[in-house]
Amino acid sequence: MAKDKSHCSGCRDDFYNHPGQHGSKECWHLNGARVVRRWRLGWWTSPVTPGAFVEVKTYDCHHEPGQFAFSKELPSHAVRPARMLVARSPSSAATEAEVKRVL
């Protein structure tokens, strides 16, 4: 069964998933990739800024050097007071009440 490549968007190696470019059919990481929860931080964002860490679901091999850093765990300084926002996507939609409760 083919894996969903939507989690590959933005990854440095996503260009391997587009046939006709570089002679490949798909990224070599895709077969063993697992969907995981990560905390995303933009390179340009201070980690102590409220809302700096965004919870996302992506593959465990996903990497975007120069754009975002991905952390397996939310850093302790960002837990309380909460310095995170939940990404709004069909797979991890948060209600306004949930976001306000966390903030």
**Residue type for position 31:** N
Burial classification of residue 74, based on how many CB atoms lie within 10 Å of its CB (0-12 exposed, 13-18 middle, 19 or more buried): middle
User: Which comes out higher in pLDDT, residue 74 or 89?
Assistant: 74
Residue 32 domain-assigned? yes
Stretch (H or E) spanning 41? strand 35-42
**Arithmetic mean of pLDDT, 6-20:** 87
Domain that holds residue 61: 6-102
Q: What's the chain's average pLDDT?
A: 78
Residue 79 domain-assigned? yes
Say how many domains are in the chain: 1
Residue 1 domain-assigned? no
Contacts of 21 (CB under 8 A, 6+ apart): 15
